Amino acid sequence: MKNRTLLSSVLSVAALFTLLINVSYANEVEFVKKTMSVLESEMAYIDEGEGLPVVFLHGNPTSSYLWRNIIPYVSSGYRAIAPDLIGMGDSGKPKLQYTYEDQAAYLHAFLDKLELKDAVLVVHDWGSALGFHYARTRPDRVAAIAFMEATLPPFYPIPSIEVMGPSAEFLKNVRTAGVGEEMVMKQNVLIDQFLRTSSQDKPLSEDILEEYNRYYPTEESRLPMLQWLREIPIAGAPASVHDIGIKNNEWIITSDIPKLLFYVTPGVLVGEPTIEYLKENAKNLVVVPLGPGGHFLQEIYPDDIGKGLSNWLSQIE
């Protein structure tokens, strides 16, 4: 349990609204984002290449920018789709509580509207919980799933706050009215501290941090980041998220679809006990070690992830 810190702890294609957003990432890949009308708001997304759809789902506190250096390994032979979750990235910022149910409603409606068939999901952090949920409830739309630093059995949902060890105090604080708002919405600890330093020994560059921060210019805009922390199921609460996690766990173990797990050491959400459990219990699973790292392994090993993903896709296709 040492490896689980708090801060990672989530129709018709013709109907798409295709307003384009030009996004240029400094010294990196340039993408054009589209937007789709979803539930009286808009969701922004990258849509590159043609062929079998490969959908990249980010978590907290990131955006589709997380996948910027991995997408090119896929878009040359597949259709790479990477949405920004509602309230995050360039997606709309409607007046919501930003609960798990809110996030799932928007993301799942977005994916349904794309009318995907035999899609492959590539998921991280809360994007994994949302992705497992989608794949479990729409088996005709999802053919395979790759995951990293994900919400996985047997340690998720979290049985008690005490098992979080040094992170327990942080969890208590962000779940306390007023205190969590001060830490996440005013002090911006998730991006300026956690994201900045937890990817590698060398902190992320200011250019990269500036892009991640671009989507959250005000305290109010950071509400989704805070709410994601409060949606972490601990000791059975929130009950609805806990129950979905249990169902997702059963699906991960029993489903026959191809699965790919990338992991780093020591990681944050995925430690050695989780890896061994999945090796022993999950069907049709390929496990790929990457090396030392923390939660945001996409910032450390984009080439390894991109090459490994492309190789796996060619095998399962």
Does residue 5 lie in a domain region?
A: no
Name the domain count of the chain. 1
Q: Does residue 245 belong to any structural domain of this protein?
A: yes
Question: Model's pTM, two decimal places?
Answer: 0.90
- State the average pLDDT over residues 113-129: 97
Instruction: Tell me, yes or no, whether 3 lies in a domain.
Output: no
4, part of any domain: no
Look-up: residue for tokens 């560059």? 205
- Going along 49-206, which residue ranges are E strands? 53-57, 79-83, 119-124, 142-148
End-to-end C-alpha distance for the chain, whole angstroms: 36
Is pLDDT at 22 greater than 90 in this prediction? no
Instruction: Kindly indicate the confidence band of residue 199, based on its pLDDT and cuts at 50, 70 and 90.
Output: low
Set 47, 90, 125, 299: catalytic member:
125
Residue 104 domain-assigned (yes or no): yes
Number of DSSP helices (H) and strands (E) in the chain, helices first: 12, 9
pLDDT (mean) for 233-243? 97
Please report, as a single letter, which amino acid is at residue 260.
L
Q: Quick check: 124 and 59 in contact, CB under 8 A?
A: yes
Q: What is the pLDDT of residue 241?
A: 98
Within-domain flag for 64: yes
Q: Looking at residue 134, which CATH number applies to its domain?
A: 3.40.50.1820
Active site residue 295: yes
d(CA 161, CA 172): 8
For the chain, the average pLDDT equals: 89
Per annotation, catalytic residue among 102, 149, 211, 231: 149
At 166 the pLDDT is 78
Query: What pLDDT digit, counting tens, does each position of 70-92 carry?
Result: 999 999 999 999 999 999 999 99
Residue 168 token pair: 């327990």
Is the pLDDT reported for residue 200 higher than 80?
no
pLDDT in tens, 240-289: 999 999 999 999 999 999 999 999 999 889 999 999 999 999 999 999 99
Q: How far apart (Å, rounded) are the C-alpha atoms in residues 153 and 266?
A: 17
Residue 197 has pLDDT above 90, yes or no: no
Identify the pLDDT of residue 18: 28
Per the annotation, the verdict on 149 as an active-site residue is: yes
Q: Which domain holds residue 234?
A: 13-316
What's the mean pLDDT in 38-57?
Answer: 97
* 1 in any annotated domain: no
* Position 111 in a domain: yes
Catalytic residue among 58, 133, 242, 295: 295
124 catalytic? Reply is: no
